Amino acid sequence: QVQLVESGGGLVQAGGSLRLSCAASGSIFGIKYMGWGRQAPGKQRELVARITRTGSTNYADSVKGRFTISRDNAKNTVYLQMNRLKPEDTAVYYCLIATVNDYWGQGTQVTVSA
């Protein structure tokens, strides 16, 4: 059983910053990458950032240069530092661990006011 516990969401003004954290526990083997996705109302979930065990990162164009993903392999924890937030970043953010299966967290709300 894999458990993902997310924290760090909240309400922030445009231009502000938030840091999300996700701690994974349980029987986790063969992690390909860890990441963060988001889903805004009426839209499909999109993967915005991911990081491999060796530290290689990828970002969606919409967040490139503003968001930074990092991880602590020893703690099975992944972080998302979000800077210069925009109202269009408002969404529920989900942590992801990709192995043979994909495991998603329960989500944390991020709201950016104009």
Express each pLDDT in 54-100 by its tens digit.
999 999 999 999 999 999 988 889 999 999 999 999 999 999 999 99
Judge contact between 89 and 110, C-beta under 8 A.
yes
Looking at the predicted structure, is the pLDDT value of residue 53 above 90? no
Judge contact between 52 and 71, C-beta under 8 A.
no
Q: Write the CA distances from 68 to 28, 48, 59, 71, 83, integer angstroms.
A: 24, 10, 8, 10, 8
What would the mean pLDDT of 21-38 be, rounded to a whole number?
91
Per-residue confidence (pLDDT) for residue 28, from 0 to 100: 82
Per-residue confidence (pLDDT) for residue 6, from 0 to 100: 94
Per-residue confidence (pLDDT) for residue 93, from 0 to 100: 98
The residues with which 110 forms a beta bridge, in sequence order, are: 10, 91
With bands split at pLDDT 50, 70 and 90, how would you rate the model's confidence at 2? confident
Judge contact between 103 and 97, C-beta under 8 A.
yes
| Whole-number average pLDDT of the chain | 95
Separation between Cα atoms, residue 100 and residue 83, nearest integer Å:
32
Per-residue confidence (pLDDT) for residue 59, from 0 to 100: 98
